[in-house]
Structure 1
Amino acid sequence: MSIALWYCPPSGSVAYEILSQLISSLQTMFPNSPLFEPHITIATQLLCIDKDARNQVLTSCVAAIQSINKELIKNGKRDPLVSFKSCSIGKKFFKKVTLDCNENKYLMSIAKIIQEMYSDTELSDSTDSFHPHVSLLYSDVKPMSKAYSRIIQQRVQDTLDIELDEVEVNDENTQMSWDVNSKNVISWNIPGTFKIVNCEGPIEQWEVLGSVDV
């Protein structure tokens, strides 16, 4: 069973509603692609089939957030856990269109802890193993045509009210990439929601096995 841990913006929040709108908008371009809720995948292949094990994972998430909160209060600083630096069109199904996140040290730390404690595929010591992102489209269309790429760029810009500047691509798994050229990019911090999701089988059959608001 492929079980993942997601970090989602709070349901009903501005971030949740705008990102959901963008996901739906891009899905209409590719009717065979699935709909899904906005999230960052924190960990995969979790070893938590039974309820007690799932509760343990969620308890660890709460403890991690409480620790982060104490440090943020101490430092008088509250940068968003999730903010975006770029948008990409990729060559892989689950990363067809993504918003790529700035590497927040607290989010990176949570991912490393959860993977090491509860996953059967540990992260390496290098932060290169975790690239936080919010997927906007799952699709096996490849390559993406220039016409569709331009439409995707425009829809992302219009929905998020940002400018995207095309940059050179140096990654073999990426077809196109744009830097976000805006100071007021949508983001979210705490509160948020951790969800344990059974990602086995068709995407429309994925099931939330447990969640906790933080």
Structure 2
Amino acid sequence: MGSLNTLFPGQPPRFEPHITITTNVDVDLDDPDKTREDVDKILSASAVALNSLPKNHSNLVTLGKINSQRKFFKKLYFQVARDPNLISFARILRELFVILPKDIEQENIKQNPHLYTKDGHGNTVKRKKSKRNRSKSSASENETTAKEFDTTLIQQEATWKAADWSTNEFDPHLSLVYSDIYPIDKALWRTIKTRIQDYLNIENCDADDLTDNGLGWDGGVLKLVLCEGDVANWITLGSVDVH
């Protein structure tokens, strides 16, 4: 990755090699204690979910051919084979930590509008409890009691949505370079492929499946990363070894 970065103009950002499993994970970032609690819960549950999947493969991750898109974050990358366990893992995390929390929150807004307000940007946000509110009389407290509702149907729909996402949207890949350059001209492509093939000692990085070259792995480290602002400013909120 360091060698390939030098081929692109504008000093592309450096980042850890990784495969994104899912984005938009639901984490409370307003309260440090709650953030830590959410991160620990998500990582622990994720490790359990991965370990519960059948060990019917040699590698969870198998690299495929080199590819490029117009998108900044998919400028140059290895495609990753759609291993059934990898797809199942992504589907579980998407359902539990992205879709389900969002859909339950949307239903809560409908059922308990009094618990929400609008922020300065017009977004619906949960009202924060103040000391003044906590000291009000019991009659006043009853006015802000949350109405409970059945989440069975929401959970069923979340399972369906996650399955659809894992089939039609999840695109596992290992990014090598982030860049705005587009398209990559033929001369640069030849240089890129030569460097990859020489570095990895393979004959063809255009092959759809590089399994025979041993390019893959099982397990690793699962990280929850706050991807806000410049790549250099991304923050790792927590990590767990998965094997």
The two structures have a TM-score, normalised by structure 1, of: 0.75
Q: Which amino acid aligns with 2:200?
A: L
Q: Over aligned residues, Cα RMSD in angstroms?
A: 1.9
Shift of 1:85: 2.0
**Structure 1 unpaired stretches of 5+:** 1-22, 167-177
Specify whether residues 181 and 97 from structure 1 end up closer, same or farther in structure 2 by C-alpha distance, changes over 3 A only. Answer: same
- Per the alignment, residue 174 of structure 2 pairs with 134
For structure 2, the residue ranges without an aligned partner over 5 or more in a row are 29-34, 103-160
Could you list the structure 1 runs, at least 4 aligned residues long, displaced by more than 3 angstroms after superposition.
120-124, 178-182
> Residue 12 of structure 2 aligns with which residue?
33
AA at the equivalent of 1:187: G
Task: Give the TM-score, by structure 2 length.
Answer: 0.67
Partner of 1:108: 87
Structure 1 partner of 2:217: 188
How many residue pairs get aligned? The number is 174
CA radius of gyration, larger in: 2
> Counting helix residues as a fraction of each chain, which structure ranks higher?
2
Counterpart check, 1:162 vs 2:191: no
Equivalents in 2 of 1:182, 1:45: separation in Å? Answer: 31
Q: Is contact 1:162–1:182 with CA below 8 Å preserved after alignment?
A: no
- Counterpart residue type for residue 25 of structure 1: S
Query: Are the equivalent residues in 2 in contact too, given 1:163–1:182 (CA < 8 A)?
Result: no
Amino acid at match of 1:164: N
Question: How many Å separate the matches in 1 of 2:225 and 2:194?
Answer: 31
CA distance in 2, matches of 1:104, 1:180: 12
Q: Return the alpha-carbon distance in structure 2 between the equivalents of residues 66 and 26 of structure 1.
A: 35
State the shift of 1:39 in Å. Answer: 0.5
Aligned 8 A contact 2:59 2:216 in 1: yes
Contact 1:162 1:185 in 2 (8 A): no
Q: In the alignment, what sits opposite 1:125?
A: 164
Once the 2 structures are TM-superposed, how far is the Cα of residue 128 of structure 1 from its aligned partner? 2.2
Distance 1:156 1:58, change over 3 A: same
